[in-house]
Amino acid sequence: MRLRESVVVLTGASGGIGLELASQLCAGGARVLAISRHLGGLAVLMNRYPSQLRWHSADLRTRSGRQEVATAAWAMGGVNVLINAAGVNRFALLEQIDEDTLDDLLDLNIKAPLQLTRLLLPLLREQPHALVVNVGSIYGSIGYPGYATYSASKFALRGFSEALRRELADTTVDVLYAAPRATRTSMNTTAATALNQALKVGMDDPVDVARAVLDAVQQQRNELYLGWPEKLFVRLNGMLPGVVDRALRKQLPLIRRYSDANAKEHSK
């Protein structure tokens, strides 16, 4: 799909990967309906691309917020791409997460993209060619200690993407699942970043992640996994999970140490 022919609904557009997607989409000639609760970095882009970029404030965790987005998308007309990029990350052991935080993560990371996709599918199906892009994570294929809740949401998003792709196989709507590895965004706490550095985990810049996602869109790919050796670990985890179990068990003391530091950081 060519960017200049794209009319896009983009969630999570005010920062991180979402903001870079908005910037690169507009630079490529796309029209974008950017969805976020706060304007954030979109203000600069709106001045740069006044005829291409529209912002709509909505809380995707609520039924009314999702309906507002659907109404705005129908009013925009010709929407042929939905990018579900909104999400939240929580670095914490399961016992360190309270009920409200867990519900909030699941509402935004999995309930919101499922419900919004359901609402917008009739509009997408009207187009000669349309695409749903779900931005997941490497942790949607590798369950990682310290990210049990986040992994659960991204495993669900990956399964949703695969099933929806097969469900729509005889229609004009395609589905792309994109799985970045660790990315330098504000979602990472100080402790999470320190853990990545201690484990020598590679971290990508949002600019590069957005570029890779949009390259996959234009190449009409079904899946995108970013990072090496992360892509190898995904395959290894699928074929020989016991090997990954043993490797990650060795990391548990370090993960617990930084998770405890993270909990103290948030309790202040």
Q: Which amino acid belongs to residue 68?
A: E
Among 77, 74, 35, 81, CA closest to 175? 81
Cα torsion at 119, 185, 238, 131 (round to 10°)? Answer: 30
H or E element: which one contains 32? strand 31-36
Active-site residue, from 49, 144, 147, 154? 154
For this structure, is 258 an active site residue? no
CA separation for the pair 6, 22 (Å, rounded): 12
Strands (E), 95-172: 130-135
Active-site residue, from 139, 147, 150, 225? 150
CA separation for the pair 32, 50 (Å, rounded): 11
CA separation for the pair 55, 18 (Å, rounded): 13
Longest dimension (CA), the chain: 54
Sheet holding 53-57, edge to edge: 53-57, 31-36, 7-11, 81-84, 130-135, 173-179, 223-225
* Dihedral pair phi/psi, residue 88, rounded to 5°: -135, 145
- The terminus-to-terminus CA distance of the chain in angstroms comes to 47
Q: Which amino acid belongs to residue 38?
A: H
Cα torsion at 5, 7, 11, 14 (round to 10°)? Answer: 80
Q: Which two tokens stand for residue 163?
A: 């099933």
For this structure, is 154 an active site residue? yes
CA separation for the pair 128, 177 (Å, rounded): 21
Mind telling me the catalytic residues? 150, 154
